[in-house]
Chains A and B, each alone.
Chain A
Amino acid sequence: MSLFSKQNMEALKTPLGMNNPVTVQVLGICSALAVTAQLKPAIVMGLSVTIIVAMANVIISLLRNTIPNRIRIIVQLVVVAALVTIVSEILKAFAYDVSVELSVYIGLIITNCILMGRLEAFAMGNSPWPSFLDGIGNGLGYAKILVIVAFIRELFGSGCLFGIQVIPAWCYEHGYINNGLMLMPPAALIIVGCIIWYQRARHTELQEEQN
């Protein structure tokens, strides 16, 4: 089987759209609410999750035939916890400001449902290379939603992008006011809801059957 066979590419691509971990599987919502008030932490969070899911997927996939079924969750958790600690330490060493901003949320990647979900659903039953692609795909699918939400929230909530003022001063002089609701977590929930709404309106096959 070639490295970039159709099946492998699908593992990489579907999480970006039709099987997005946030908008379709509705996983990892908590961190999507917590870290998306600004773009920078959202991007760092998205990349961290991407790296951790990909590496955890590879490691678990390598171990998958040796892990006793009864303790597999503990093994998965140990692997994820080790990776999260490494990423957290790297951030502290090289991007201290961002790591302070993200505070506990880097540590809480351990509890991100996307990780355990991918390990259980994919890595436990597939070889390392497809698992790696699946991890990258899901991580980026998560990051994509985070970036969209953070873009809207930072633009309308504080008039900035990446901390740089983009809404010109004359708007404020004419009575424009930043939307404070955008800085609160409920705004992220509403925006994620709108993205899900848009996606399901465009792809009717995603809609649940009415009973």
Chain B
Amino acid sequence: MGLRQFVDKIKPNFEKGGKLHAFRSVFGGFETFLFVPNHTAKSGSNIHDCFDSKRMMIMVCLALVPALLFGMYNVGLQHYSAAVATGALAAMPAFWSVFGYGFLAVLPKIIVSYLVGLGIEFTVAQWKGEEIHEGFLVSGLIIPMIVPVGTPLWIIALATAFAVIFAKEIYGGTGMNIFNVALVTRAFIFFAYPSVISGDAVWVATDSIFGLGADIDGFTAATALGQAAVAEAPAFDMSMVWGFIPGSIGETSVVAIALGALILLGSGIASWKTMLSVFVGGGLMAWVFNQIGNPENAVAMMPWYQHLALGGFCFGAVFMATDPVTSCRTECGKYIYGFLIGVVAILIRVLNPGYPEGMMLAILLMNLFAPLIDYYVYQSNISKRAKRAANSK
């Protein structure tokens, strides 16, 4: 029996009068997840793209996969390098145990984030008798990728619940949120439990998992930005581009993120205007700080390409700034929005030593301003056309 037949066979149970009617939105959610819904408009003329938001979300998830896989490998790599450096292990194991360690360290985080987020979404949809929205598919994968490997699962669960309820559901659910849900999760952890997401003890896993790896005592490793904030910036080398450095799980590798960016741009989901202008804004701001030149501030003296390669800059620019819900909708607004994200991110990095990484706060801040930017783009267009109409009379 094919999947389609099976779905059709159990469908009557969920329709009005069926015994499982109470779970109709859960069923509807799974049905449309598996098959493109064949709902058609009954009246009027509509032009509709078959590429609905579920397909779009799945494309974004695919684009996240390279960074996720690399992140898992890097978690294992950082762990084993630390084990070898401290003498807990004699030599580096084979590729698959390095990857396996990272996989086992990251997988629980993904499961927890999806369980909590989708649990809340399903409950709310069921309760309000609405269809289940697909927005959390992407957020749920991004959340584990933007936290350090040391973040406890209960904190991820709590932060995800907070973000889904207070950043999404109270605004009206998927597509209505002002702030990027995954970033609100991170911001919640950042302000509520700063000890698990900053400092130099959280970026490298120090426990063995199911016999893989080793227990390492007292090992600390700061991120490159963390080092630059308190002392001297490490010199630029290619490991910062490949991503073999400590950092949040999915953010370290520029190359893996670039692969994701190609998928997003190729399928037309993300706007190249936003993405490009984030990099231009960030690069320009970093260059300005280089020119001002303050030898006492190591972050200010970091070259612009190093600024763009380190921390969450690339990940934020590719996957978060381009979020179609929370970014600007007007084409001209996208340039302004992206440019200001880059500028503010570097400003926070350089001028506030308390926050070594400014990307999260920069994007959240500009999320807030996106509707305002759109409003002024509309207004200027209206007045331009009004003027043209007046002149042509």
Contacts and interface: CB of A to CB of B under 8 A. Distances in A.
Is chain B found bound to chain A in the same assembly? yes
Interface of A: 175, 177, 179-182, 184, 190, 197
Given A175-B152, A175-B154, A180 B166 contact: no
Interface string B184-218: 00001001111110000000000000000000000
A180 B192 contact: yes
B284 interface: no
A153 to B, nearest CB: 12
A179 B152 contact: no
B191 A180 contact: yes
Interface of B: 152, 154-155, 166, 170, 188, 191-196
Nearest to B193: A177
A179 B189 CA distance: 9
B192 A181 contact: yes
17 contacts: A175-B152, A175-B154, A177-B155, A177-B193, A177-B195, A177-B196, A179-B192, A179-B193, A180-B192, A180-B194, A181-B188, A181-B191, A181-B192, A182-B192, A184-B191, A190-B166, A197-B170
Contacts of A177: 155, 193, 195-196
A88 to B, nearest CB: 33
- Secondary structure class of chain B's binding surface, majority of residues: helix
A78 B344 CA distance: 46
A180 B196 CA distance: 12
A180 to B, nearest CB: 5
Contacts of B166: 190
A197 B196 CA distance: 31
A182 B162 CA distance: 13
Contacts of A197: 170
Interface of A is mostly: helix
Contacts of B193: 177, 179-180
Nearest to A184: B191
A152 to B, nearest CB: 13
Nearest to A176: B154
A197 B170 CA distance: 10
Contacts of B194: 180
Contacts of A184: 191
A191 B154 CA distance: 21
Contacts of B152: 175
Nearest to A186: B191
Given A180-B191, A184-B191, 17 more contacts: A175-B152, A175-B154, A177-B155, A177-B193, A177-B195, A177-B196, A179-B192, A179-B193, A180-B192, A180-B193, A180-B194, A181-B188, A181-B191, A181-B192, A182-B192, A190-B166, A197-B170
Nearest to B195: A177
A177 B193 CA distance: 7
Contacts of B154: 175
B311 to A, nearest CB: 22
B367 to A, nearest CB: 16
Residue among B155, B166, B191 with max Cβ neighbours from chain A (10 Å): B191
A177 B194 CA distance: 10
Contacts of B196: 177
A182 B154 CA distance: 17
B251 to A, nearest CB: 23
A181 B184 CA distance: 13
A184 B154 CA distance: 21
Nearest to B158: A179
A179 B152 CA distance: 13
Contacts of A180: 191-194
Nearest to A190: B166
Contacts of A179: 192-193
Nearest to A156: B192
7 A-B pairs with least C-beta separation: A181-B192, A179-B192, A181-B191, A180-B192, A177-B193, A175-B152, A180-B194
Contacts of A175: 152, 154
A175 B151 CA distance: 11
